[in-house]
Structure 1
Amino acid sequence: MNNVIDTILAHRSIRAFKDTEVSSEQLERIIQAGIAASSSSLMQVVSVIRVTDTNKRKTLAQLAGHQSYVETAAEFLVFCIDYQRHYELNSDIQPDFIELTLIGAIDAGIMAQNCLLAAESIGLGGVYIGGLRNSPSEVDELLGLPQHTAVMFGLCLGVPDQQPELKPRLSPDVIVHENQYQPLDQQKVKEYDQVMQQYYQARSDNTKQQGWSDQVTKKLSKESRPFILDYLNRKGLARR
C-alpha cells in the first residue's frame, strides 16, 4: 500500500465541519488537482463555481433538500457541464449531442473526485451534493449559469468534526467481470445485505434495519428527477 491508496480506502462522507477555514493555499492546490484530471479530448468542459456568499449558500442548502452542511462547510464548490466557453469561441459548435452531455458529466465527476482526494490527503473532508439537481433552474438563476451550461452537483469541503464509520461496499466479486458480463451472484448479495444490516444497526447515528437490496430497489422503483431531461434540453444539451 501507499499513502494515495490509503487515502482512497479511508474515504468517508463528512457532513459536520469545524469552524475552521480552508486556507487559500489549500484551496488552490485542491483546484489545481481537479484541473489536472483527465479531460476527454482535452475539451475541458467543466466549470466550478466557488460559492462564498452566505445568502447564496443558505439558499442552495434549502434548494438541495435542506442540507445544512451546504451552508456551514468552509468551502462549497458547484461543478457544472460547460460548453458556453466553447460557444463563445465559435458559435457554430453543436453541444446538444447526448454524447457531449455524457462527456461533461463524466469529466465533472473525475475532476470533483480529484478535488476531494486532494482535500482528504491534507486532512480535510467533504461530501457531494447531488440534491442541487432537485431545483436545477433555481440554481441556474442563483449562480447565473448561461445557456450551454448545466449544474451537476456540489461539493462541501472543510475540517471534519465527525468520524463516521466506514460504509461497506459490494464485493469485487460482484462488481468486476472478466472477459464478459457475468450473472449476478445472489448469494454474494445476500451476504452483503447482512453486512449492511449490521452496519446500519451499529453505526453511531441514523440507525435502521435495512439491507442494500431493499434500499436500492426502493430507490429505483420510483421516479428520479424526471424533469432533468427537459432542464438539459432547455440548456441546449442532450437533445439528440
Structure 2
Amino acid sequence: MNTIIETIQNHRSIRHYEDRPLTDEQIKMIVESAQAAATSSFVQAYTIIGVKDPEKKKELALLSGNTHVEKNGHLLVFCADLHRHELVAEMEEVNVQQSLDTTENFMIALIDTALAAQNAAVAAESLGLGICYIGGLRNNLDGVSKVLNIPKYVLPLFAMTIGYPSKINDKKPRLPFEHIYHEDGYQTDSSILKKQLGDYNKIIHDYYMERTNGKRSDTWTKQMALKFKEPSRTYMKEYVQKQGFNKK
C-alpha cells in the first residue's frame, strides 16, 4: 500500500479543530488539487467559495445546523456552476439557454463538483489536516445564497470544514467489499444482499457499542430506514429549478 492509498483509506470525518487558520499557501494547494480532478469534456462546471469572514461562518453554521462550520481552519463551499458558461455564450454570441436547462448538464455540474471536492479532501488530509463534508448546507439554500451572493445557474451543494484536528474518532467500518463491488452485472439476489447487510449490521453494532462504552446500540439498516422513512429538504426541486438547473 502506498502513501496515497493509505491517506484515502484512513479517512474519517473531523468535527473538532484547533483554533489555527490554514495559510494562504495551504488553501491554494488544496484548491489547485481540486482543479486537477477529472472534468466532463473540460467543462469545469464548479466554483469553490472560501469563507474566512467570522460572521459569515457563524451565519452558515446556523443555517446548516453544524457548529464546526463556524470553528475550523478554513471553510470551503462547493457549488455546481453553469453561470460562467452563460457568460461564455455571451462572449461567443451563441444561444445556449436550452442546453443549460437540461438534466444532462445539471448532472455534469454535480459530478464535476463532487470530483473536485474529493480531490480537495485527499489533498487536505495528505497535509495532515482533517475535513468534514457538510450536507446540512442544503437545509436552507435561500439563506446560504444570500450570505454568499449566489447568482442564477450556481447551486451550493455542500461545504467542507478543514483544519488541524483536536479530536479524532475511530474510523467507521464501510459496507463489505462484496456488497459494493458487483462483477459483470448487478447482483440482484436479494437473499445474498440481505445476508451481507445483516453481517454488516453486526459490525456496526459492535463499533457503536465500543465507541460509546455500551451507551449506543445501533445498526446500519436501522439508521438508513429511519433516514429514508420521511422525505427531507422537499423544497430542493423548486430551488434547483429556480436557479436554472434541471428544467428539461
SS in 1 for 2:61: helix
Q: TM-score, normalised by structure 1?
A: 0.96
Residue 206 of structure 2 is aligned to residue 198 of structure 1: yes
CA contact (8 A) 2:133 2:160 kept: yes
Report deviation, 1:106: 1.2
Structure-2 change in CA distance of 1:234 and 1:215 (3 Å): same
Structure-2 change in CA distance of 1:204 and 1:20 (3 Å): farther
Report the structure, 1 or 2, having the larger helix content: 2
Report deviation, 1:20: 1.5
Q: TM-score, normalised by structure 2?
A: 0.93
* 1:107 corresponding residue in structure 2: 112
Report deviation, 1:96: 1.1
* 2:217 corresponding residue in structure 1: 209
Q: How many residues get paired?
A: 239
Output aligned runs, 1:16-95, within 5 Å.
Answer: 16-65=16-65, 67-91=66-90, 92-93=95-96, 94-95=99-100
Partner deviation per Cα, 1:130-178 (whole Å, 9 max, x = no partner): 1110001111111011011111000000001112001001101111111
SS in 2 for 1:128: strand
Partner deviation per Cα, 1:75-130 (whole Å, 9 max, x = no partner): 00000011111101215223111111111111111101100100100100010001
RMSD: 1.3
* 2:103 corresponding residue in structure 1: 98
CA contact (8 A) 2:20 2:72 kept: no
Report deviation, 1:206: 10
CA contact (8 A) 2:60 2:69 kept: yes
CA contact (8 A) 2:30 2:123 kept: yes
The one-letter code matched in structure 1 to 2:111 is I
Measure, in 2, the Cα distance between the counterparts of 1:115 and 1:189: 31
CA contact (8 A) 2:40 2:112 kept: yes
Report deviation, 1:224: 2.1
Structure-2 change in CA distance of 1:51 and 1:206 (3 Å): farther
Output aligned runs, 1:132-171, within 5 Å.
Answer: 132-171=137-176
Report deviation, 1:200: 1.1
The one-letter code matched in structure 1 to 2:9 is L
Identity of aligned residues (%): 36
SS in 2 for 1:48: strand
Measure, in 1, the Cα distance between the counterparts of 2:40 and 2:227: 31
The one-letter code matched in structure 1 to 2:32 is Q
SS in 2 for 1:162: coil
Q: Which runs of 5+ in 2 are unaligned?
A: none
Q: Which runs of 5+ in 1 are unaligned?
A: none
